[in-house]
Chain A
Amino acid sequence: MNQVLILGKPNSGKSLLFNRLTGANQKVANFPGVTVEVKRGVSGSTMYVDFPGVYSLQALTTDEIVAIQQLKKAVADKDISVVLCNLDATRLERSLVLGVQVKQLADRHGLPVVFSLNMMDEISGSGLKLDVEGLSKDLKSRVIAISAKTKMGLSELKQALDAEATSGKRQLEAPIGEANDQVDFESNSGSLLRAKELAKKYGPNSSVILKNQNRIDHWVLSDIWGGAIFLVTMLVLFQSIFSWASPLMDGVESAIGNIGSLLTPLLPEGIASDFVNDAILGGFGSFLVFVPQIFILTFIIGLLEDSGYMARAAIICHKPLSLVGLSGKSFVSLLSGHACAIPAMFAARIIESPKKRILTIMALPLVACSARLPVYSLLIVALIPSVTFAGGLVGLQGLAFFALFVFGYLVAGIVTGILSKTVYKEESDAPFLLELPPYRLPAVGPLAQRSIKSSWAFVKEAGAIIFAVTIVVWVLGYFPNGGEDLGSSWLASVGQFIGPIFEPIGLDWKFGVAVLASFLAREVFVGTLGTLYGIEGADENIAGLASNLEASGLTMGSGVALLVFYAIALQCVSTVAVMKKETGSGVLPIVTFVAYSVLAYILALAVYQLF
C-alpha cells in the first residue's frame, strides 16, 4: 500500500484535504493548531497520514518537539512512499518556510515530494495570479494547484501522488548511512531566504489578500466595538442553544411519546410493559430528548471556529484571562469545552506556556459541557417560567442558562486565579504569540456532518452507560413489590442510607440516588430520575419529566442548589482519564476530582441555606 504523508503549515487546510481524499471527518477549523495527533485514513490502495501543522522544523513548545520528531521519523520510514506538502497559496512565503525544509529533508532520504497549492479558490476570487509552473520548476517538484474547499485539482493531485509513489524513486536514491536530520541554524536562515525569494518571484500580491481581513479586524478588535461584539456573540451563542433546540427537542419528546403509545398495547400487561415504559422510554428516552441541544451546541461552536473569529476572541480575552493565570488561547480551549471537555483538553496544547496550559486543564471541568445541558435544561424548565421579552428574542429560561454558563466561568476564574498565585506560582511560563487566520465563511455542510457524527458518538457512549444504569435503577426500584410502591423498594432502602447526605440540601432520596449514579457520567441524572418517576407514575406519563419534577414539589432553593452542584462537580470518568494523560500526573486528577466534589457540595449547601 502506498503511504502518503500530509505535511504543512498550521491552518493550511491539511485536514480538509485529508477529509476530501479519504472521506474522513477530521476536525477542520480556521485556527492554527487544530490537529494535535497523527491521523490515518485509507482510500483505495493509498493510506494518507494527516499530521499536526508545524511552522518549521524548529520547535517552540514541547508538543511541537514531539510533532517534529514524529515527522522526521515518518520521513525516514521506509513504508512512506511520498510526502504531500500542503501550501497555503494565500500565505505562500509562510508556507514555503516549512516547504523548503521538508523538501530538503525528503531529498536526503530519497523521498519524493508533491506540493499541493491549496486555497486557490481564494486566489482567483480576489483576481490574483500565481505562477504555478515557475514554482514547480524552481522547487524541482510537482506543484498542483488545488482547492480543498471546491475540490478543484484533487484528481490531478491524486494522479501526481500515484505517479511519484510508483516511480520507485525512493529505492533508487536510498540514503547511504544515517541521514543527518539536523536542520541547523545555517540552513534555517537559508530556508527563510529561499522562501522569501520564491514567494516574491511566483507568489500573489499578499497585501491585496490581507486587505479584507484587516478591514474586518479594524472593527472586531477595536477598543469599544471589539468588546461589544464579543459579548453579543457569546450571548447569542448560549441563548441560541436554548431557543433553537426547543422545536427539535419537542419533536423528539413527542416521537418518544408516540412510540410509547404504539408499543404499549402490543406488550403484555405487567412487568414487560412496565419495563419498556419506565426504563426504556422514561429513563433512556428522557435523555434522548436533549440530544438536539448537544447537536446545536457543537454546530454553533463549529461555526465560530470556522469563521476565524476564535483567534480574535483569544486576543480580546488575553488580558482579562491573564489576571486569573490563563492565556487568551485558553479561551479557544474553554469554548470548545462547552461541547466536551475531552477534545478541549487536547486543544489546550496550543497554549505555549506550560503553566497556563495546566491551569486551563484545571478550569475545563468547570465549563458547562454538553453533558450538563440535559441536567440544566431539565431543572430550568421545572423551576423557571417560560417568559420571553423583546419579541421572543430573549427568554427568562435562556438567561438562566446563560447565568449558569457564566457561573461556571466565575468559579473557574477564582480557582485558576488562586492556583496560579500559590501551587503553580513557580511553574514555567511563556509569552503569547498567535498568527491571525483570515475570515472565512464557515463550511456548513461538513460542519453539520461532523456535529451529527459527534452527537451520535455521544448518544452511543453516554447511551451505553445510561442504559446500564437505568436498568439497574429500574430493577432496584421495581422490586420486590412489582412497582406498586417505590417507597418500599430495594432502591428506597439504599436511598434511606444516603438520605442524610442530601437532606441538608432539601432533596429527597430519589434525587440522592440520581446524583450518586451520575458520578459515572452527568447525563445519567436525567435517565435515573426519568426511570424513578416512571415507576412512580400511576399512569404511563413518559413525556414531560420536567412537569413531573414540578409536581413533585421541588423547591426553588433545592433546585438551584442542585444546579450549583452540577455546575461544579467533576462527574465524568473520561475527563479524569484524559486529565491524567494530558498532565502526566496520576495525583492531580484525583485531587481535582475530590476538591471539586467537596466544593460542589459546600456551595450547594450554602445556596440552599440562603434561599
Chain B
Amino acid sequence: MNLWDLKQHQSGTMKAFSEEMPEAYRHRLQEFGFQKGELVTCLRQTPFSGPKVYQVGDSVVSLTQDLASVVAVEVSE
C-alpha cells in the first residue's frame, strides 16, 4: 500500500521510498518528517482530486499523486 491509497483520516506507518522517488525529493520528504516508522495521516483529499494533504509529526505537507504513490506505508487494522 502507498501513501496515495490512504483514505481521508486514515493513518499508516511509513515503510520505504521506492526506487522511482527522485533522490532530491527523497531528501526533502525526509526533512519534512517522512521517515521509516513514522505515523503518517492523510488529512484531506482536495477538490478535483488534486494534491492530498498529509500530516507527519509537526509538519503538514501536500503531495501530488506522482510523489505519494511511490511511498510505501503499512496500515495496521
A, B bound: yes
Candidates B35, B46, B58, B66; contact of A316 at CB < 8 Å: B46
- Chain B, 14-49, contact with A by CB distance < 8 Å: what is the 0/1 string? 000000001011011111110100000001111111
Chain B's closest residue to A228 (CB) is B47
B33 touches A436 (CB 8 A): no
Number of residue pairs across A and B with beta carbons under 8 Å?
Answer: 119
A259–B60 CA distance with the chains assembled, in angstroms: 56
- Chain A, 188-205, contact with B by CB distance < 8 Å: what is the 0/1 string? 110010001001000100
Candidates B44, B46, B47, B66; contact of A431 at CB < 8 Å: B66
Known: A60-B28, A91-B58, A217-B44. A328 touches B35 (CB 8 A): no
Residues in B neighbouring A189, C-beta threshold 8 A:
30
Chain A's closest residue to B54 (CB) is A436
Tell me how far the C-beta of B75 lies from the nearest C-beta in chain A, rounded to whole angstroms. 20
A241–B37 CA distance with the chains assembled, in angstroms: 50
A559–B44 CA distance with the chains assembled, in angstroms: 46
A269–B53 CA distance with the chains assembled, in angstroms: 70
Candidates B30, B48, B62, B66; contact of A436 at CB < 8 Å: B62
A221 touches B64 (CB 8 A): no
Tell me whether B55 is interfacial, beta carbon within 8 Å: yes
Residues in A neighbouring B57, C-beta threshold 8 A:
93-94, 196, 199, 206
Residues in B neighbouring A58, C-beta threshold 8 A:
24, 27-28, 31
Chain A's closest residue to B45 (CB) is A223
A214 touches B27 (CB 8 A): no
B33 touches A318 (CB 8 A): no
A59 touches B24 (CB 8 A): yes
Tell me whether A33 is interfacial, beta carbon within 8 Å: no
Residues in B neighbouring A188, C-beta threshold 8 A:
27
Candidates B28, B29, B60; contact of A210 at CB < 8 Å: B60
Chain A's closest residue to B21 (CB) is A431
A221 touches B67 (CB 8 A): no
- Chain A, 504-544, contact with B by CB distance < 8 Å: what is the 0/1 string? 00000000000000000000000000000000000000000
Tell me whether B10 is interfacial, beta carbon within 8 Å: no
- Chain A, 165-204, contact with B by CB distance < 8 Å: what is the 0/1 string? 0000000000000000000000011001000100100010
Tell me how far the C-beta of A153 lies from the nearest C-beta in chain B, rounded to whole angstroms. 22
Q: List A residues 308-324 near B (Cβ within 8 Å).
A: 311, 315-316, 318-320
Residues in B neighbouring A91, C-beta threshold 8 A:
58-59
Residues in A neighbouring B30, C-beta threshold 8 A:
189, 192
Chain A binding surface SS class: helix
A514–B25 CA distance with the chains assembled, in angstroms: 51
Residues in B neighbouring A249, C-beta threshold 8 A:
none
A436 touches B24 (CB 8 A): no
Residues in A neighbouring B24, C-beta threshold 8 A:
58-60
Residues in B neighbouring A92, C-beta threshold 8 A:
58
Residues in A neighbouring B53, C-beta threshold 8 A:
217, 221, 315, 436
Residues in B neighbouring A227, C-beta threshold 8 A:
47-48
Tell me how far the C-beta of B47 lies from the nearest C-beta in chain A, rounded to whole angstroms. 5
B27 touches A56 (CB 8 A): yes
Chain B binding surface SS class: mixed
Residues in A neighbouring B72, C-beta threshold 8 A:
none
Tell me whether A138 is interfacial, beta carbon within 8 Å: no
Tell me whether A435 is interfacial, beta carbon within 8 Å: yes
B25 touches A433 (CB 8 A): yes
A209–B66 CA distance with the chains assembled, in angstroms: 29
A121–B2 CA distance with the chains assembled, in angstroms: 38
Tell me how far the C-beta of B28 lies from the nearest C-beta in chain A, rounded to whole angstroms. 5
A520–B40 CA distance with the chains assembled, in angstroms: 53
- Chain A, 135-175, contact with B by CB distance < 8 Å: what is the 0/1 string? 00000000000000000000000000000000000000000
Residues in B neighbouring A97, C-beta threshold 8 A:
31
Residues in A neighbouring B63, C-beta threshold 8 A:
431-433
Residues in B neighbouring A217, C-beta threshold 8 A:
43-44, 53, 60
Tell me how far the C-beta of B4 lies from the nearest C-beta in chain A, rounded to whole angstroms. 12
A430–B57 CA distance with the chains assembled, in angstroms: 25
Residues in B neighbouring A60, C-beta threshold 8 A:
24-25, 27-28
Tell me how far the C-beta of B32 lies from the nearest C-beta in chain A, rounded to whole angstroms. 7
A55–B46 CA distance with the chains assembled, in angstroms: 25
A227–B66 CA distance with the chains assembled, in angstroms: 23
Tell me whether A213 is interfacial, beta carbon within 8 Å: yes
Tell me whether A354 is interfacial, beta carbon within 8 Å: no
Candidates A210, A315, A432; contact of B58 at CB < 8 Å: A210
Tell me how far the C-beta of B64 lies from the nearest C-beta in chain A, rounded to whole angstroms. 5
Tell me whether A572 is interfacial, beta carbon within 8 Å: no
Residues in B neighbouring A319, C-beta threshold 8 A:
47-50
A59–B27 CA distance with the chains assembled, in angstroms: 9
B51 touches A94 (CB 8 A): no
A435–B59 CA distance with the chains assembled, in angstroms: 7
- Chain A, 74-94, contact with B by CB distance < 8 Å: what is the 0/1 string? 000000000000000011111
A433 touches B47 (CB 8 A): no
Candidates B27, B33, B46, B61; contact of A221 at CB < 8 Å: B46
Tell me how far the C-beta of B46 lies from the nearest C-beta in chain A, rounded to whole angstroms. 5
B35 touches A192 (CB 8 A): yes
Residues in B neighbouring A56, C-beta threshold 8 A:
27, 31
A315 touches B61 (CB 8 A): no
Q: List A residues 415-471 near B (Cβ within 8 Å).
A: 430-436
B46 touches A210 (CB 8 A): no
B64 touches A318 (CB 8 A): yes
Tell me whether A20 is interfacial, beta carbon within 8 Å: no
B60 touches A436 (CB 8 A): yes
Tell me how far the C-beta of B16 lies from the nearest C-beta in chain A, rounded to whole angstroms. 14
Q: List A residues 332-389 near B (Cβ within 8 Å).
A: none
A-B contact list, 8 entries, CB within 8 Å: A58-B24, A58-B28, A94-B33, A210-B58, A223-B47, A328-B51, A431-B66, A433-B62
A192-B30, A432-B63, A433-B28 are known; give 19 further A-B pairs, CB within 8 A: A55-B28, A56-B27, A90-B58, A92-B58, A93-B58, A94-B32, A192-B35, A214-B43, A227-B48, A431-B63, A431-B67, A432-B62, A432-B64, A432-B67, A433-B62, A433-B64, A434-B61, A435-B32, A435-B61
Interface residues of B (CB under 8 A from A): 22, 24-25, 27-33, 35, 43-51, 53, 55, 57-64, 66-67
Closest 5 CB pairs of A and B: A206-B58, A319-B48, A319-B50, A436-B60, A434-B62
